[in-house]
């Protein structure tokens, strides 16, 4: 019985570590849609009339590619630091060396850079909504999202920077998801999620729905921070008394944060 149990456990571990198989046709269609989106965004930046910006369309395209390069560098730097620090903490601090498996470490790295993105974008969105505009923020005065009409709204440079960074982030993360990251069981669903988000962010930027878009980005980014922490603490097995109940604390805290921001 013991031998059979060990064989079953080994088989389950091998199955968990085996690569996720994705239908080639589905993958090809999604990749084609994604490529068309990237082309469409470059075309939009080349043709849109940014009447509230004092830079040309060519400069906007250059800023977009610079943002993509910066996001790529930051993501790879965070993954490198996370891998080094995670390995040290896993061996010396965390119970049972939870990150010793390559697949678990990859998940940990991926979640760490997502946490970095969500925190940094939440900070920028907080500055725009609550510091830069203060009492005049459309976060508290919702009618200002559409008044004056979107075609006559003068938006700050910070809002344009936020949108360029968000578009760059979602394009780079989609590339990471398609070509670099470990494939999870929800690979197709997340691929569709990335494509839909790129379409929404890019479309709202082209149509000058920056104010209402910044609200949507804020409530999503700030509430995703705790979701990232739940996954990270779970990978590190920081539950129960041995993990100071970190998984449980963040899990229950997420109920309130998610309900407030998402609903």
Whole-number Å distance between alpha carbons of 73 and 131: 28
Q: Tell me, what's the pLDDT at 5?
A: 55
Residue 263 burial (CB < 10 Å; 0-12/13-18/19+)? exposed
Whole-number Å distance between alpha carbons of 210 and 95: 46
Largest CA distance in the chain: 75
pTM: 0.87
Name the average pLDDT for the chain: 88
Q: Tell me, what's the pLDDT at 51?
A: 66
Over residues 100-133, the pLDDT tens digits come to 999 899 999 999 999 999 999 999 999 999 999 8
Q: Tell me, what's the pLDDT at 50?
A: 72
Q: Are 106 and 181 in contact (CB under 8 A)?
A: yes
Average pLDDT (254-262) is 89
Q: Are 201 and 210 in contact (CB under 8 A)?
A: no
Over residues 21-74, the pLDDT tens digits come to 888 999 999 999 999 999 999 999 998 877 677 788 889 999 999 999 999 999
Whole-number Å distance between alpha carbons of 26 and 34: 12
Residue 6 pLDDT > 60, yes or no? no
Residue 247 pLDDT > 80, yes or no? yes
């Amino acid at each position: 019985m013991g031998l059979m149990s060990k064989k079953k456990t080994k088989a389950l571990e091998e199955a968990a570590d085996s690569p996720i198989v994705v239908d080639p046709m589905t993958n090809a269609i999604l990749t084609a849609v994604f490529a068309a989106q990237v082309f469409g965004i470059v075309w939009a930046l080349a043709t849109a009339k940014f009447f509230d910006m004092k830079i040309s369309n060519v400069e906007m395209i250059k800023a977009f590619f610079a943002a993509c390069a910066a996001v790529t560098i930051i993501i790879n730097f965070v993954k490198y630091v996370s891998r080094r620090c995670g390995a040290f903490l896993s061996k010396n601090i965390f119970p049972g060396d939870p990150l010793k498996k390559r697949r678990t470490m990859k998940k940990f790295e991926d979640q760490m850079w997502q946490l970095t993105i969500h925190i940094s974008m939440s900070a920028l969105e907080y500055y725009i909504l609550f510091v830069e505009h203060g009492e005049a923020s459309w976060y508290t005065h919702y009618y200002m999202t559409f008044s004056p009409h979107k075609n006559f709204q003068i938006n700050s440079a910070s809002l344009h920077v936020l949108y360029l960074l968000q578009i760059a982030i979602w394009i780079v993360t989609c590339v990471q998801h398609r070509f670099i990251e470990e494939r999870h069981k929800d690979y197709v669903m997340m691929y569709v999620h990335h494509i839909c988000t790129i379409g929404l962010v890019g479309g709202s930027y082209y149509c000058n729905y920056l104010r209402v878009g910044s609200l949507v980005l804020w409530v999503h980014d700030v509430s995703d921070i705790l979701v990232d922490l739940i996954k990270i603490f779970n990978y590190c097995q920081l539950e129960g008394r041995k993990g100071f109940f970190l998984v449980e604390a963040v899990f229950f805290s997420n109920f309130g944060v998610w309900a407030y921001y998402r609903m």
